[in-house]
Amino acid sequence: MPQFRTERLGQIIQEKISSLVLEGRIKDKRVNPFISITKVDVSKDLSYADVYVSEIRGKNVEKGTEGLQSAAGFIQSQLGLSMRIRKIPKLRFHSDTGIGESFDLIKKIDELVAPEKEPENNANGQIGTNSAE
């Protein structure tokens, strides 16, 4: 199977699942609208699709992933109704903590850079002025 077909199918599945989450059609309370589908990898034989889930707030990614996994049958049935392919891949949901980790890394870098940006006191006790004036 050509790779571009599996990539395109992954993009379509990502769009469809995202719209189901955003529209609130998944009734599981663990699935909230802040959950986003970051990536979908479809196997070459189209039998499995690994769906990577992230959350903007980064707190309830595991619960959201469990909620989506419990609603996988419903999601697959909705995909079957909206897509014209012979076999809908079996969905496997995984937590994607990359976004939360990148925010933490940016915060740590900002904390390291912040002390360097503090203005220096000169001999007269004035902040940020030249003593040669």
What's the whole-model pTM score? 0.74
Q: Tens of pLDDT along 103-130?
A: 788 888 988 887 765 555 555 555 555 5
Q: pLDDT tens, 13-52?
A: 999 999 999 999 999 999 988 889 999 999 999 999 999 9
The answer, yes or no, to whether residue 133 has pLDDT greater than 50, is no
20 pairs with which residues across the strands? none
In the chain, what are the domain boundaries? 3-117
- 3-117, CATH topology level: GMP Synthetase; Chain A, domain 3 (3.30.300)
DSSP 88-120: PPEEEEEE--HHHHHHHHHHHHHHHHGGGGSPP
Q: Count the helices and strands in the chain (H runs, E runs).
A: 4, 3
Quote the CA–CA distance of 130 and 86 in Å, as a whole number.
Answer: 75
pLDDT of residue 1: 55
